[in-house]
Structure 1
Amino acid sequence: MDFFNLHTYGYLFIWFIIYSFFGWVYESLWASFNEKQWVNRGFLSGPVIPIYGFGAVSFVLLLSDINNPVIIYFAGMIIASILEYFTSWAMEKLFHARWWDYHHYPFNINGRICLYGALLFGVFSVIIIKYVQPYVAKFTSLFSPASLYTLSVILMILFITDTVLTVRKVLHLKERMQELQKAITIYRQQAEERIAEYKKYRQEQRQQILLNMKQGFEDSKVYALLKEKFGDLDNHEKRLLKAFPNLRSREFDDAVIRIKNKYQEYKSRREK
């Protein structure tokens, strides 16, 4: 592959988009099967999951000259695991949230990658190198240089635009969660004080204190923020909550849980 030829990068980018689309189809169908309803299982709005594109193109660049499928398999496992671990770490650093978590799988590393996923991606690497990439390369070779350039530019503009808009949405959602987390912390302190007070009184007095605590929650900033902020979530933010049910945040996990619970209530009302 001639890396001094501009057309090479056009092919690589189109391959990246094709495999990102294949990954989106696989993830969305799998999630939809488990949820018994359609789930757009992607971080971006468009039908692509970039980590699959990066992984597949990495396989093509690094493993295409290897003929032994066993070597391809284990090399694919390593490449995919490194890529997935780095992606999980980078997204957590950027958004202060963990978008997937493999802690419930055996042989995981910090919940970012697991043996099951690595074995599966090893299979994907063999399938891509031996069976899929020859057809993808043959298909893209049909484009004239002008068509290749035009298509690459159009797809790149769409991809970059989608990425920028999605990152802005996620950062906005992060701000909402931070605000809600602050309110939760304040209310928790107040609740702990009331619980300590609750233990001092007789049974008949405790009922009134419980009612006061319930009313206090409904009057609190936490409750108001849940009503105000969740009701204002747009479709993209709601889609992200649906697409990533294992979303976690060490910084504002209470807020994440409450927003996700509120989303489930919203979804249940719509299904009635």
Structure 2
Amino acid sequence: MLPFIQTAYLFALGSMIGWVLEFFYRKFFDPVNVERKWLNPGFLTGPYLPLYGFALLLLFWLRQIEQFIPIDDNYTRKAVLFVIMAACITALEYFTGLIFIVKLKIMLWDYTQFWGNIKGIICPMYSFFWLLLSLGYCLFLDPPITRTVDMLINNLQFTFFVGLYYGVFLIDLAISLNNMVNIAEFAREHNIIVKIDELRAQIVSFREKTLGRAHFFVPLRFSDTLHNSLERYREFREKLSVGNIRENIKGNIRENIDKIKRK
């Protein structure tokens, strides 16, 4: 088991790397972001995604088990390792998403539009991305990260920067969790699942209309903005539900008309 400071460093590094990856992915590749806006990908204010912090810890620990995989061929053994890594991160993603949905009625990400998704939390496409991430980690990141982790043992002054990071992170986390509790209470009151990406869009829209601008780094912070945006979000979900019902009715009518014509 890694010493505490090294574990803290890996978590911080993974959280920031993951935020950067998601930041550019959502801008240029995310099919949901059709307007190609720059979006803060996390529910926290700052540039870190805790899920990726835990993912990097998993990758670092799993990298050590390669020698215990009972396969002689080097390439096959590495391929099996990559699959194990991707499966473990997918499991982490699933249980994290499930806990937020069940306990807080909050959906941090939404894969419902992707084929083969399970509860909108995981899907084959993103599991494949985790596989590529595992491959990239082993080929490019593992050697320098391992050297840095070893270096921390002999350069404890570096702990100042790790401590500074966590000071800011914990303040941000406390504020964001307080907002999450407010969102969860709203979700239970109205018996809905709040999708963070949809709520963020309502907050941006509200701030643009009331203040003339939207702040990139504080999407969920201000209580008045959050309250008004939640009400707008509820109306948005109600309209969406009504729209879906209408589309289903129209679809059934068209289907019945086609059946009559065929007869």
1:174 Cα deviation from its structure 2 partner: 4.1
- Match of residue 21 from structure 1: 16
**Distance in 2, Cα, partners of 1:28 & 1:167:** 21
1:253 Cα deviation from its structure 2 partner: 11
1:17 Cα deviation from its structure 2 partner: 1.0
Q: Does 1:171 align with 2:181?
A: yes
Question: Residue deviations 1:164-186, cap 9 Å, x none?
Answer: 1101122234445667x49xxxx
Deviates most, 142-151 or 102-111: 142-151
Q: Matched residue of 1:57: which SS? A: helix
Which among 72, 88, 100 is matched to residue 79 of structure 1? 88
> What amino acid maps onto 1:11 in structure 2?
Q
1:238 Cα deviation from its structure 2 partner: 7.0
> What amino acid maps onto 2:46 in structure 1?
G
**Distance in 1, Cα, partners of 2:101 & 2:188:** 15
> What amino acid maps onto 1:71 in structure 2?
V
Q: Residues 258 and 131 (structure 1 numbering): CA distance in 2 closer, same or farther, change over 3 Å?
A: same
Question: Residue deviations 1:76-96, cap 9 Å, x none?
Answer: 121011100011011123421
Superposition pairs of residues 1-272 of structure 1, within 5 angstroms: 3=2, 8-33=3-28, 34=33, 35-66=35-66, 68-143=77-152, 144-175=154-185, 181=190, 239-240=219-220, 255=234, 257=236
**Distance in 2, Cα, partners of 1:258 & 1:237:** 25
**Distance in 2, Cα, partners of 1:83 & 1:260:** 33
TM-score (norm 2): 0.64
Q: Residues 120 and 237 (structure 1 numbering): CA distance in 2 closer, same or farther, change over 3 Å?
A: closer
* Structure 1 vs Structure 2 CA RMSD: 3.6
5+ residue gaps, structure 1, are 183-226, 242-251, 262-272
Q: Residues 77 and 85 (structure 1 numbering): CA distance in 2 closer, same or farther, change over 3 Å?
A: same
Question: Residue deviations 1:191-234, cap 9 Å, x none?
Answer: xxxxxxxxxxxxxxxxxxxxxxxxxxxxxxxxxxxx9xx969x9
Question: Residue deviations 1:127-175, cap 9 Å, x none?
Answer: 1123212112323444444313333332222222211110112223444
1:116 Cα deviation from its structure 2 partner: 0.7
Larger radius of gyration: 1
Does the CA-based 8 Å contact 1:10-1:148 persist in structure 2? no
Q: Matched residue of 1:108: which SS? A: coil
Does the CA-based 8 Å contact 1:16-1:53 persist in structure 2? yes
**Distance in 2, Cα, partners of 1:260 & 1:164:** 33
Does the CA-based 8 Å contact 2:22-2:41 persist in structure 1? yes
Percent identity of paired positions between Structure 1 and Structure 2: 22
**Distance in 1, Cα, partners of 2:168 & 2:238:** 30
**Distance in 2, Cα, partners of 1:231 & 1:255:** 19
TM-score (norm 1): 0.62
Q: How many residues align?
A: 200
Q: Residues 235 and 160 (structure 1 numbering): CA distance in 2 closer, same or farther, change over 3 Å?
A: same
5+ residue gaps, structure 2, are 68-76, 192-205, 222-230, 241-263
